[in-house]
A and B are shown apart, each in its own frame.
Chain A
Amino acid sequence: AQSVTQLDSQVPVFEEAPVELRCNYSSSVSVYLFWYVQYPNQGLQLLLKYLSGSTLVKGINGFEAEFNKSQTSFHLRKPSVHISDTAEYFCALRGFQKLVFGTGTRLLVSP
């Protein structure tokens, strides 16, 4: 079975502070890993993806994530957040045909 765990349901931070959103996965086969962002009343938008190669992946809006196979993690980071980053963030994996999503982490950025 494949699964994605996002332990933090909500992460409050102040504007311009760094943030890390945690994602751990479980799979018996090699996987591709993704981070999606969902703004209120909108669909999901791909932030970044890891398919192979360099374990540090850079995405849109200044986000990056690091794939760690030994710790089965794919944490999302941003060195300085903006108010506009307030949204729900979903980690997902694809091992076979379909995407399996985590339960999401709500990032709340305050002034």
Chain B
Amino acid sequence: EAGVAQSPRYKIIEKRQSVAFWCNPISGHATLYWYQQILGQGPKLLIQFQNNGVVDDSQLPKDRFSAERLKGVDSTLKIQPAKLEDSAVYLCASSLPGSDEQFFGPGTRLTVL
């Protein structure tokens, strides 16, 4: 069974530029999560989708971050414009509805210069 796929694995941009990350969850997993993991910290939930609807986006900085999951499968997270403090690993995870186990992708490491 294929795991959660993410691309790109690494991205370096300058501040004020835009960037987008892509995630393809495990087949059949209706719930999808985006986390931000800053160096030295644990992952922090940015947004949770159930199919293509948003369940929780309370910690998403909506002035610069956006996410979509149009067809209820893969998802895109965008930052526009990026700030230095956005440098982090962005993790995507997926799970079956109602399940306690989340399966994580390898992450995208973003460096903002």
**A90: which B residues are within 8 A, CB to CB?**
42-43
A98 pairs with B42, CB closer than 8 A:
no
Q: Interface residue count for B (Cβ, 8 Å)?
A: 20
**A53: which B residues are within 8 A, CB to CB?**
none
A42 pairs with B106, CB closer than 8 A:
yes
Whole-angstrom distance between the alpha carbons of A98 and B47 in the complex?
10
Closest beta carbon of chain A to B32's beta carbon, Å: 13
Q: Known contacts A51-B100, A97-B48; is A102 also within 8 Å of B55 by CB?
A: no
The A contact surface, by secondary structure, is: strand
A45 at the interface (CB under 8 A from B): yes
A41 pairs with B106, CB closer than 8 A:
yes
A109 at the interface (CB under 8 A from B): no
A101 at the interface (CB under 8 A from B): yes
Closest beta carbon of chain B to A5's beta carbon, Å: 11
List B residues 58-113 near A (Cβ within 8 Å). Answer: 91, 93, 100-102, 104-107
Most interface-central of A4, A43, A49 (chain B CB within 10 A): A43
Closest beta carbon of chain B to A41's beta carbon, Å: 7
Q: Quick one: closest B residue to A6, CB to CB?
A: B42
A92 at the interface (CB under 8 A from B): yes
Closest beta carbon of chain B to A18's beta carbon, Å: 25
A98 pairs with B56, CB closer than 8 A:
yes
A49 pairs with B56, CB closer than 8 A:
no
**A104: which B residues are within 8 A, CB to CB?**
40-42
Q: Known contacts A92-B42, A101-B42; is A44 also within 8 Å of B56 by CB?
A: no
Q: Known contacts A43-B105, A43-B106, A98-B56; is A32 also within 8 Å of B100 by CB?
A: yes
